[in-house]
């Protein structure tokens, strides 16, 4: 009788405490939407003409296992659309698939909060001025993000990316871009 009572009490206690700890216990298996500002430092040759750039994306991020005390390896992929406007008119649109690999760490004191640091590499297609020219688009850089996962498994976060180089080959020459991207994330732990 005592054993059954102990098992029942332990089970109920674990269930009661399990929700707040779920974010750290199950590792990262997240599907997110991202929206925000992309660098607008566009240049071609010696001409600079960036005005504004925005990006929306769907991202999937995964850890290989539960995060340990020292964190754990993560990988991910996103599909994005970037719209850029240029000084004096003109614009460009890019569709990009980006891969991520890096490390995640959850705070022991606040297990719902975790941080991610990754490198990223993307390939896609960029079109400058509709009907003008299409070119192969490449981007790479570093990413730092923080996400808070609620008991309901919904999450919000901030995703900062240092775009070291983004470039597309166009008919009139290479179109280059670099700088800091600020994206806001929302999603769900699966």
Give 29-84 pLDDT, tens digit per residue: 999 999 999 998 877 776 777 679 999 999 999 999 988 888 999 999 999 999 99
Specify burial of residue 162 (Cβ count, 10 A radius: 0-12, 13-18, 19+). Answer: middle
Structure confidence at residue 16 (pLDDT): 42
Token duo for residue 84: 């850029």
Q: Is the pLDDT of residue 159 over 70?
A: yes
What is the average pLDDT value for the chain, to the nearest integer? 85
Specify burial of residue 181 (Cβ count, 10 A radius: 0-12, 13-18, 19+). Answer: buried
Sorted by where each begins, the domain ranges of the chain are 2-189
CATH fold of 2-189 reads Porin (2.40.160)
């Amino acid at each position: 009788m005592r054993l059954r009572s102990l098992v029942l009490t332990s089970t109920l206690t674990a269930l009661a405490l399990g929700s707040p700890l779920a974010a750290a216990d199950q590792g990262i298996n997240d599907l997110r939407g991202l929206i925000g500002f992309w660098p607008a430092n566009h240049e071609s040759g010696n001409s600079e003409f960036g005005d504004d750039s925005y990006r929306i994306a769907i991202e999937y991020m995964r850890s290989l296992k539960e995060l340990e005390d020292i964190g754990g390896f993560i990988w991910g992929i996103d599909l994005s659309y970037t719209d850029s406007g240029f000084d004096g008119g003109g614009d460009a649109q890019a569709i990009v698939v980006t891969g991520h690999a890096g490390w995640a760490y959850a705070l022991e004191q606040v297990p719902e909060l975790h941080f991610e640091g990754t490198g990223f590499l993307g390939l896609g297609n960029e079109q400058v001025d509709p009907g003008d020219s299409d070119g192969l688009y490449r981007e790479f850089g570093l990413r730092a993000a923080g996400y808070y996962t609620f008991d309901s498994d919904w999450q919000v976060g901030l995703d900062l990316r240092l775009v070291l180089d983004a470039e597309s080959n166009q008919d009139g020459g290479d179109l280059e871009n670099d700088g800091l991207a600020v994206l806001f994330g929302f999603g769900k732990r699966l």
